[in-house]
């Protein structure tokens, strides 16, 4: 068994990875700058999928010699363009936005948990209380409402 091939194959592969990696990374940063701040905003479910796909594509360009830099750059641009298209249509169509984005959910109101909403959103009382403390309240009784935002964060609104 040839153990050395597991750790090092040849310099050509390493040089290719460095050159293609730097160029692919530069292309990705350029595309993200062109696409605007929305691409780098807090992640909701759709944004997370696009981010994972971008990382997977960058990885494929870096490590698979069968994927040319030009093909990878086109794939990265396509993913960012699709993200831009979805956000563009979402801003202009409430029905489309509802189909691709999650809505905020009210998890506590007037100092009391909303157990049905918490079950639907798979949030425990311990997670809620942690968010309440982080929001500056001593307990759920001091809270006007707790909202699970579409990006997964918990917003705590304190009483008067």
What's residue 97's pLDDT? 80
What's residue 116's pLDDT? 94
CA 33 vs. chain centroid, Å, equals 17
Residue intervals in the chain for CATH 3.30.240.20: 105-158
What's residue 20's pLDDT? 83
Q: What distance in Å separates the CA atoms of residue 135 and residue 124, rounded to the nearest whole number?
A: 17
- Please report how the helices 69-92 and 11-35 are oriented relative to each other, as an axis angle in degrees rounded to 10: 20
Tell me the whole-structure pTM to 2 decimals.
0.59
Q: Are 98 and 46 in contact (CB under 8 A)?
A: no
Residues of the chain with pLDDT under 70: 1-6, 8-9, 35-46
Select the CATH number that applies to the domain covering 105-158 from these four: 3.30.1520.10, 1.10.150.20, 3.40.50.10860, 3.30.240.20: 3.30.240.20
């Amino acid at each position: 068994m040839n153990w050395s091939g597991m750790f090092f194959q040849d310099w050509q592969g390493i040089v290719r990875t460095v050159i293609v990696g730097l160029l692919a990374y530069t292309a990705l940063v350029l595309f993200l700058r062109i696409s605007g701040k929305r691409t780098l905003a807090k992640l909701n479910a759709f944004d997370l999928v696009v981010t994972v796909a971008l990382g997977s594509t960058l990885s494929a360009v870096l490590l698979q010699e069968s994927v040319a830099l030009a093909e990878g750059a086109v794939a990265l641009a396509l993913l960012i363009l699709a993200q831009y298209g979805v956000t563009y249509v979402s801003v202009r169509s409430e029905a489309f936005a509802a189909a691709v984005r999650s809505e905020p959910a009210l998890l506590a109101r007037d100092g009391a948990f909303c157990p049905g909403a918490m079950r639907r959103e798979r949030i425990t009382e311990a997670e809620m209380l942690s968010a309440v403390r982080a929001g500056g309240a001593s307990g759920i009784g001091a809270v006007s409402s707790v909202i699970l935002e579409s990006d997964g964060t918990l917003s705590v609104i304190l009483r008067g």
